[in-house]
Amino acid sequence: MLVAITFPVLLKQCRLELGLTQTQLAARAGISVSLVRKYETGTRVPPRATAMHLANALRLAGEERAAFLVAASARALPPVTTQHTPLAAQMASHRLPVAPTPLLGREAELAAITRLLGEHTAHCVTLIGPPGVGKSRLALAAAAALQPLFADGAAWIELAALDDPAAVAPLIAARLGAQGDEAEAALIALLAQRSFLLVLDNFEQLVPAAPLIARLLAAAPRLSVLITSRVPLRLRAETRFPVKPLALPVTRRVSAVAVAPATRLFCERAVAVNPAFVLGVANAATVATLCQRLDGLPLAIELAAARADALEPAALLASLDAGITEFAGGFADLPAHQRSLQAAIAWSERLLEPAARDGFARLGVFAGTFDAPAAAALGVASLDPLVEAGLVQADASGRLYLLETIRVFAAERLRVHPEAANIYACTPTTTPTLPKLPARCSTVQPPLRR
Ligand SMILES: Nc1ncnc2c1ncn2[C@@H]1O[C@H](COP(=O)(O)OP(=O)(O)OP(=O)(O)O)[C@@H](O)[C@H]1O
Ligand SMILES: [Mg+2]
């Protein structure tokens, strides 16, 4: 059987968020440090009263407290029959991939996804969002937390390299070890009685295969599917879960910059490539502005931080000011479609119909927010596919905008557009300027809870 890690993962993450050692947490919760260790390694599960002491010690409230207590009390559902070996144990590689770095922030999202799939209120959840926003990373954390709730375990299937929707069923069948000439029938036979979590990563280019997922869910009542995709699958059974960029600091002070997930991500990756990097009074405001300019987009932040070996945050910011969002020489272990921002955005652009692709380039003219009539005046037929693909965002007031990195990409496409001159010429004079940075900062996400 797989090791139960739902509660251990949450416990450790909450403890580290507060900067507590195991000894300090034990003292706060009034239990021994050896018990804390056992809970974090999953060798013991706390009784309800102890879980509540731990939740108090970790200052958890509201939804997060509820999710923590659910995780603490979760036990794997028994299989329908005792005849079979847990499916995950039969698979060639039955462990979920291990994330190379810790998850930053995302507490509320993790709790919500864990609740949806863990309490079986949803059987198909799609994490949707723009390129590099952190869908896969969040799905990995959710899958790790959920895995023990499924008696047959979980499988993570990476689809980014697959282009042919017809190949989805054979690939899943092969990964799960489903035997039979016809992949879908073999999958249904294998999954029908299983309590299993199937995670499908990067589904966006395979949307025509979405009905397969509906058929699997209909045939396997205890199957749950967690999907990451830049666009929705448009299934009736699907619960769409939008993933927003990482939270930015609420102020530019060192204390705020050090804890906000977006800026923490920059600092942690910067230290990894340049151990001499130190966040301090001298550079905190620049780091905050840099992450703000990158819209809190984790992939963009990581790629920028990868250059912190040679460039100070101020130099990185100056590159952005010069319209350069491409920081070459990122991390070699990122998937091919994420080696550069250009590659990540082009991957989404490739999936657009020609009219939408043309409209996307035209939007590169807007330096700030805009509305549908302004876009239509530029010849953008429909914004829907662009919103759906995460290439266009809406702010709190309903006005539309492109994340900065995406806008620079679109502007570059516009530069070589055959009608570029006309499009520049008929840009509405009312086009607003870039939103003020602090305002944009506050529209991204609420600050960390602590
Ligand atoms: N909360 C987080 N904490 C730490 N690292 C993160 C977080 N979110 C994202 N990252 C890192 O940022 C990078 C991009 O994230 P991820 O691959 O999850 O994006 P994505 O939305 O799945 O992108 P794509 O649409 O290209 O598949 C990854 O290297 C990931 O590890
Ligand atoms: Mg992904």
Whether the CB of 300 sits within 6 Å of ligand 1: no
- pLDDT score recorded for residue 14: 82
User: Do residues 265 and 371 both lie within one domain?
Assistant: no
- Give distance in angstroms: CA of 132 to centre of ligand 1: 5
Query: What value, to the nearest 5°, has the Cα angle with vertex 363 and ends 361 and 366?
Result: 135
Residues 450 and 432: their CA atoms lie apart, in Å, by 35
User: Do residues 23 and 87 both lie within one domain?
Assistant: no
Residues 192 and 7: their CA atoms lie apart, in Å, by 28
- pLDDT score recorded for residue 13: 78
User: Cβ(320)–Cβ(293) under 8 Å?
Assistant: yes
Residues 41 and 9: their CA atoms lie apart, in Å, by 9
- pLDDT score recorded for residue 431: 44
The model carries a pTM of 0.74
Write the burial class of residue 31 (CB in 10 Å: 0-12 exposed, 13-18 middle, 19+ buried): middle
Centre a 10 Å sphere on the Cβ of residue 360 and count the other Cβ atoms it contains. Answer: 26
User: Do residues 58 and 117 both lie within one domain?
Assistant: no
Of the bound ligands, which one is closest to the alpha carbon of residue 391? 1
Q: Kindly report the backbone phi and psi dihedral angles of residue 434, in degrees, each rounded to the nearest multiple of 5, phi listed first.
A: -55, 135
Centre a 10 Å sphere on the Cβ of residue 412 and count the other Cβ atoms it contains. Answer: 17
Final residue belonging to a domain, choices 242, 267, 297: 242
Torsion angle (degrees, nearest 10) of CA 301, 202, 154, 188? 170
- Taking Cα atoms as reference points, which of 221, 176, 181 lies closest to residue 199? 176
User: Do residues 64 and 203 both lie within one domain?
Assistant: no
- pLDDT score recorded for residue 218: 94
User: Do residues 107 and 235 both lie within one domain?
Assistant: yes
- Give distance in angstroms: CA of 228 to centre of ligand 2: 6
User: Do residues 98 and 208 both lie within one domain?
Assistant: yes
Residue nearest to atom 13 of ligand 1 (CA): 299
Q: Is 448 a member of any domain? A: no
Q: Is 445 a member of any domain? A: no
User: Do residues 101 and 237 both lie within one domain?
Assistant: yes
Query: Which mutation among 106, 110, 136 tests ligand 1's pocket best, with the greatest number of atoms within 8 A of CB?
Result: 136
- pLDDT score recorded for residue 157: 94
Q: Which own/partner pairs from 274-278 qualify as long-range (CB within 8 Å, at least 24 positions apart)?
A: 274/308, 274/309, 277/308
Residue 6 corresponds to which amino acid? T
Task: Give pLDDT < 50 ranges for the chain.
Answer: 1-5, 76-82, 429-450
Q: Is 441 a member of any domain? A: no
User: Do residues 34 and 158 both lie within one domain?
Assistant: no
Whether the CB of 131 sits within 6 Å of ligand 1: yes
CATH of the domain at 187: 3.40.50.300
User: Cβ(190)–Cβ(165) under 8 Å?
Assistant: no
CATH of the domain at 71: 1.10.260.40
Q: Which two structure tokens, joined as six digits, stand for 91?
A: 């698979």
Whether the CB of 369 sits within 6 Å of ligand 1: no
User: Do residues 180 and 318 both lie within one domain?
Assistant: no
User: Cβ(238)–Cβ(435) under 8 Å?
Assistant: no
User: Do residues 314 and 412 both lie within one domain?
Assistant: no
Strands (E), 255-392: none
Looking from the CA of residue 334, the nearest atom of ligand 1 is 29
Instruction: Provide the residue range defining the domain that includes 307.
Output: 254-339
Helix (H, G, I), strand (E, B) or coil at 185: helix
User: Do residues 374 and 335 both lie within one domain?
Assistant: no
User: Do residues 65 and 86 both lie within one domain?
Assistant: no
Final residue belonging to a domain, choices 57, 75, 93: 75
- Taking Cα atoms as reference points, which of 125, 383, 320, 358 lies closest to residue 240? 125
Q: Is 446 a member of any domain? A: no
- pLDDT score recorded for residue 123: 93
- pLDDT score recorded for residue 108: 93
